[in-house]
Amino acid sequence: MNKIISSAILFIVLIAITASLNSQTLYFCEDVDGSGYPIGESSTFNISRDGGWLKMLVRLPYDVNCRSVRFEVYRKDSYGYETYDNTIRQDVERDWRWFWQKITFYSAGSYNVYCYDCSDYLLTSGSIRINYK
């Protein structure tokens, strides 16, 4: 009986690992290498009071199958409520599995970013904290 339980637990863990390896992900980073991997990835960045930029990298386990995507940016208050900040649109190729977009922040705070495809399907999302230097 213990072998069956151990095997079931191992199977569930392997499925969870496989799912996380094949999931779509939004990275916040300083740059993106030529193979589509983040350089200087973080969930917290420091900017000057004049503003600062970073890159958002989306990695998918499948072709995006669209000609454009959009990033919707929301600022989070201390209670977790979101207020719309802006939308960034990006042209993409249908066979792309990764793409990045530069984003500029002018205010410190916590933000949620949602990336949608051309059919309004949520591809991925992420949270970032922006601090002043």
Say which DSSP state 97 is in.
Answer: S
Using alpha carbons, list the distances in angstroms from residue 64 to 27, 69, 91, 102.
16, 9, 11, 19
pLDDT value for 103 = 97
Please give the model's pTM, rounded to 2 decimal places. Answer: 0.83
Please give the average pLDDT of every successive group of 10 residues along the chain, which has 133 residues. 54 40 86 98 97 98 98 96 98 98 97 98 98 95
CA pair distance 77, 8, nearest whole angstrom:
42
Beta carbons within 8 Å of 107's beta carbon, 6+ residues apart: 75, 130
Quick one: pLDDT at residue 10? 43
- pLDDT on residue 6: 52
Provide the 3-class DSSP secondary structure of residue 32: strand
Domains of the chain: 24-132 (2.60.40.1930)
Residue showing tokens 């409520």: 81
Q: Are 69 and 118 in contact (CB under 8 A)?
A: yes
